[in-house]
Amino acid sequence: MVTFVGIVVALVSLIGLALGLFMAADRRTREPGVLFSLWWTPALAAAAGIFMRDPVTFFIGLICFVVAGAALYFERQFTRKVPSVRRRSADSERTTSQAIRTSDRASDKTAS
């Protein structure tokens, strides 16, 4: 029974690690992917502790997994990126183009 639990924990950890590496391959999700894969690395240590039936290795891996998860959560909460560039809507572009046309007409009238 213990071996089955160890296999399940190891498979879940490997899937999490693979998902994090897959996320890290994309430029837009590189940083979260690396952090996600690093988060699952201690779970592999916990699975090794289950395989070896070593409670110390299991608990150290489990504690590191929980600490890494908390660090990942708080890092994501406190470093929300604020968009530095405002996206203009179509209305503002239309208004800008109307203003340019109006100023061009006014300058044409004064030049005549």
- Residue 99, in any domain of the structure: no
Collect all residues with Cβ–Cβ distance below 8 Å to 5 and sequence separation of at least 6. Answer: 50
- DSSP secondary structure letters along 35-103: HHHHHHHHHHHHHHHHHTT-HHHHHHHHHHHHHHHHHHHHHHHHTPPPPSSPPPPHHHHHHHHHHHHHH
Provide the 3-class DSSP secondary structure of residue 111. Answer: helix
Asked if the structure places residue 44 within a domain, the reply is yes
User: Is 89 inside any structural domain?
Assistant: no
pLDDT tens across 42-91, in order? 888 888 888 888 889 889 989 998 998 888 888 778 776 655 555 555 55
In a domain, 22, yes or no: yes
Count of domains for the chain:
1
Per the domain annotation, does 104 fall within a domain?
no
The predicted structure's pLDDT at residue 91: 56
- The arithmetic mean of pLDDT across residues 18-47, rounded, is 87
Per-residue pLDDT at 105 exceeds 80: no
Report pLDDT for 83. 57
Measure Cα distances from 43 to 20, 21, 28, 67, 76 in Å: 13, 15, 26, 11, 20
Owning domain of residue 11: 2-82
The answer as to whether 91 is a domain residue is no
Residue 94: the pLDDT is: 59
In a domain, 109, yes or no: no
Residue 63: the pLDDT is: 92
**Which segment of 6-10, 32-36, 85-89 scores lowest on mean pLDDT?**
85-89
Residue 6 predicted with pLDDT over 80:
yes
